[in-house]
Structure 1
Amino acid sequence: MGLLRKKLAVLDLTHGGIPIAKKLAALGNDVSGVDVYGTVDPALLGELEEKYGIRCSKAPLPVSEFDLLVAPVHLDSAYSMLEEARAAGKTILSHHEIVGKILKKNPWLSGTKIVEVTGVKAKTSTASLLADMLSRRFKVVLHTSRGLEVWDNGFHSSIYRGLSITPGSILTAVEKSLEAGVEPDLKPEFFIFEISIGGTGTADFGILTTLSPDYGIANNTALASDAKLQLILNAKPGSVLLINSGAEKALEAAKKTQAEVLTFKDPFLAEAHANISETGRTPDFVLETEKASGISEVSGSTLRFLSRGKEIFSASLSPGYSSSAYRTAFVAASAAALELGVEVKDVVSVLEEFRGLSGRMQEKELNGIALIDNSNSGMDILSAEKALEYALLKKKDEKKRSVILVLGEEASQVCEGLPPASVQKFVEKSGTKCGQIILVGERMQEVTAKNASYAGSIQEGLSKAVELAGTEDIILSSVKCFR
């Protein structure tokens, strides 16, 4: 279906719908935007109507007025406009699908390869490591939850901050790259997009990091894992897909694709312990780790990378962060980089120089006190558990006194928030292993523990932790927040 002179309704202006509506209007369509959650500032809705000709409504609109609807995969399937559209046989495109159609119409992207990274865990770290590796040979623009960056020869500079990783934000990322002076004759050879819950169908190289732990979307009427399969089901012929060998649902879907399918073994997540005979193939890429005798994971380790059964390289990791938190990213980024033409020596160099990403199990100091920073938008209770395990290991190795845990959420809308019930179970199970727990966010007031206090923000939580801690303690920050 073409995108010219159509009557379209774009549902959900909160999660990436606004840039989609703007682009569709610019392509000559009659566009209406529906603020299904009622969270968009009325002044912004007015601007969309006056400046872009986009009719906006906070209430559902009659479906009979439109040729097709555009809705995010996470919208409740019982939303009235969706129910009416299905009953009337109207076409409903996901935000991912419509963004793909728009990108295909952008002549500036001609000749630039697109990499899309989706999954539950390790998206940001995989995309960031791959950008560093590719930049040793190519010019790269990277869009992740950390921001929009240009990478060149191992160095990066920020173009723009504040974008989400919804599919609609890809349109803004491309636009901001042009505005920032990434001129046509200097345009990047690669765009790498971290993208939530699926793919747009425009990727030359798609990476699926993990499908677990799975979770419900669309008011628990669908699974996130099924939505993420868009990366595979929408893959264009001739493209390449790199899939976690433990994601059996994805491998089953990939049997029908016209893309080339490669797999990597990630033995560090529960989903990856699949029997090879069940998936029907041996992984193309495998990562193994070796630890020197008597040296714990806190002090780093050595990686061995195998491609199709043959060892390609080994790399000695630097200390100062939890290498186990990055193993999925190490194998996925290395495999992708090698397939995309990066030399082995450059892949090894990036891995050995890596010191962790801010907010992702990175070790720092705060007022002279050891800090493990695990606060980011993708942080969940499983990540908090692993972070505490690492902190307790570090405490034992370095003979520290106690761990002071800062835990919670700075904004409940960040990627589904952090459920207070999950936090309550966590503190009941592991809270006594911490000297003090500082719970961050309004919803964490529901959580009770003997050694707990409360803070309104991550900054307030860290300030309280510094007051409580001494140089013999470790502060562990695990707060779900935008960074």
Structure 2
Amino acid sequence: MRILVLDTIHGGAELAGALRGAGHQVDEVDVYRGKAGIPIEEALVRTYNRVTAPVHLDPDHLLLRRHGSAVSHHEMVQWILGGRLPHPFIEITGARGKTTTAHALATLLPGPGILHTSTGTYRYPERELLWKRSITPASLIPAVREAERIGGWLVAEESLGVTGAGDVAVLTSAEDYPIAAGKKRAIAEKCRLLAWAPAAVLPPGIGLAGGVAADGVVSFEGEICRYSGNGVSGSFENPLSLLAGYRIPLMLAAATACVLGIDPAPLGRFAALPGRMAARWEGGVLIIDNANSGTNMMTTVEAARYARELSGNAPLTLVIGEEARAVCEGFCPEDVRRTVAAVRPAGVVYVGEGHPAATIDAGLDAARVITPAGAIVLAVKTWR
């Protein structure tokens, strides 16, 4: 089959390689930079059996107008994977909460397995780091093959949707934003792809035919989480349940476990992850680390509230910005300004392009200088 792969930056090159490995003739086009693959002009005059494009590509791109509708990278990955799949296989997507939900689920699954996240891909139960890559749809392929090789499970984060190849798909957030040159909505695209999954677990605020509403299975009362669904019922207690950034992931993980027939009681021992509200003291300074790929205004306001609670309302320095650009889920300057206004910190260190601090480490160093005592909140959008 002759296939055209659009966008070599966001997993397209890996996708093209997998298709070639399967025996197909493949052309690839770097639609954003024009540096890799063949030129657009050449792809315009060729004929293809199938075209695949990321969900965030402008639907009016010249190549899509010329060759007709394309299947998404997510759908193409499902086609490549075929029937060779690990079990259970859980796919996780959403604007925020993916990594926390994924790590929480991995603590519940017995035996060997693979956890594929934006923080890295790990082999369980050793928690050995295998590699660090993106969470584009194409990056799922080696994770699936490794999980299949060891005869284990797979829990995988994916950006902007799921392949539908897993046993369960989880949406972590109802948050929406425009994609594809403003011509599509992220939540609509995610739900379209979730509809192909055998089972879908949904956050509060999202309705999808056949989906399992997590808040219909799980409820909270302070630190106590109660769950009942699919013949599994019980409760656990975890102080992280008091934090919005953990309450929803714990809810989703518990509901997904119930769908799989697994008791989520061990989530009572689940601890905060680095970059996701992890707290530590450096002498007289409290540092709340909330710098991750899902950092936004809401999580930053929550982190600041948490810091003030733990520090006794001490002066707070906010380290904020965007170290690494996330294609469709960035932390734009206007949102950063609104966040600073909402938090009202005693001091601010801006991180990113055009600022003295280009990295999160540089931002933290600068914050230490101006914060001899009190609290520092790291709220930098970055891949860690």
**Taking structure 1 as the reference length, what is the TM-score of the superposition?**
0.74
Matched, 1:348 2:270: no
Cα gap change, 1:39 to 1:144, in 2 (>3 Å)? farther
User: Which of 399, 404, 407 is residue 317 of structure 2 equivalent to?
Assistant: 404
Q: Does 1:187 align with 2:151?
A: yes
Instruction: From the superposition, tell whether residues 367 and 37 of structure 1 become closer, same or farther in structure 2 (CA, over 3 Å).
Output: farther
Partner of 1:18: helix, strand, or coil?
A: helix
Contact 2:3 2:25 in 1 (8 A): yes
Q: Is the 8 A contact 1:103 1:171 kept in 2?
A: yes
Letter in 2 for 1:139: P
Counterpart position of 1:468: 370
Q: Cα–Cα, structure 1 residues 406 and 37, in superposed 2: closer, same or farther, change >3 Å?
A: same
Deviation at 1:310, TM superposition (A): 9.9
Equivalenced residues, count? 383
CA contact (8 A) 1:377 1:414 kept: no
**In 2, Cα distance between equivalents of 1:58 and 1:478:** 39
State the SS of the aligned residue for 1:378.
Answer: coil
Q: 1:229 aligns to what?
A: 191
Q: Which residue of 1 aligns with 2:40?
A: 59
Greater RCO (Cα-Cα under 8 Å, separation 6 or more): 2
1:411 and 1:8 mapped to 2: Cα distance? 31
- Among 215, 220, 224, which residue is 1:303 paired with? 224
8 Å contact kept, 2:90–2:155: yes
Q: 1:197 aligns with which of 144, 148, 160?
A: 160
Tell me how far apart the structure 2 counterparts of residues 458 and 427 of structure 1 sit (CA, whole Å).
17
Alignment partners' CA distance in 2, 1:232 and 1:477: 32
* 1:369 and 2:289 correspond: no
From 449, 455, 460, the counterpart of 2:357: 455
Give the conservation status (yes or no) of the 8 Å contact 2:96–2:295: no
Partner AA of 2:81 in structure 1: L
Q: Distance in 2 between matches of 1:187 and 1:58?
A: 42
Shift of residue 322 of structure 1?
Answer: 6.3
- Does the 8 Å contact 1:414/1:482 carry over to 2? no
Give runs of aligned pairs for residues 73-88 of structure 1, distance below 5 A: 73-86=55-68
The 3 A distance-change label for structure 1 pair 311 and 84 is closer
Q: Which of 421, 432, 435 does residue 346 from structure 2 map onto?
A: 435
Distance in 2 (CA, whole Å) between partners of 1:67 and 1:199 is 23
| 1:15-69 CA distance string (max 9 Å, x none) | 01011101111111110000011175xxxx4xxxxxxxxxx22434215421221
Alignment-mate amino acid for residue 159 of structure 1: L
Q: Which residue of 2 aligns with 1:167?
A: 137
- Calculate the aligned-residue CA RMSD, in Å: 2.4
Q: Please state how far the C-alpha of 1:416 moved relative to its aligned partner.
A: 3.8
Letter in 2 for 1:410: E
Q: Aligned pair in 2 of structure 1 residues 39, 407: CA closer, same or farther (>3 Å)?
A: farther
Give the equivalent residue in structure 1 for 2:294.
378
CA distance in 1, matches of 2:139, 2:227: 35
C-alpha deviation, 1:221, in angstroms: 0.8
Residue of structure 2 equivalent to 1:419:
332
One-letter amino acid of the structure 2 residue matched with residue 57 of structure 1: I
Q: 1:123 aligns with which of 98, 110, 113?
A: 98
The percentage of counterpart residues that share the same residue type is 32
Q: Residues 11 and 34 of structure 1 are in contact (CA less than 8 Å); yes or no, is this contact kept in structure 2?
A: yes
**CA distance in structure 2 between the partners assigned to 1:469 and 1:355 by the alignment:** 27
Q: Give the counterpart of 1:325 among 226, 235, 245.
A: 245
Q: 1:309 to 1:149 in 2, by over 3 A?
A: closer
Report if aligned partners of 2:113, 2:123 keep a CA contact under 8 Å in 1: yes
The runs of at least 4 consecutive aligned structure 1 residues that moved more than 6 Å come to: none
2:51 maps to which residue?
69
CA–CA distance in structure 1, aligned partners of residues 30 and 22 of structure 2: 21
Are residues 322 and 463 of structure 1, via their aligned partners in 2, closer, same or farther at CA, if it must alter by over 3 Å? farther
Contact 1:8 1:69 in 2 (8 A): yes
> 1:322·1:361 contact (CA, 8 Å) conserved in 2?
no
Question: Paired residue for 2:73?
Answer: 95
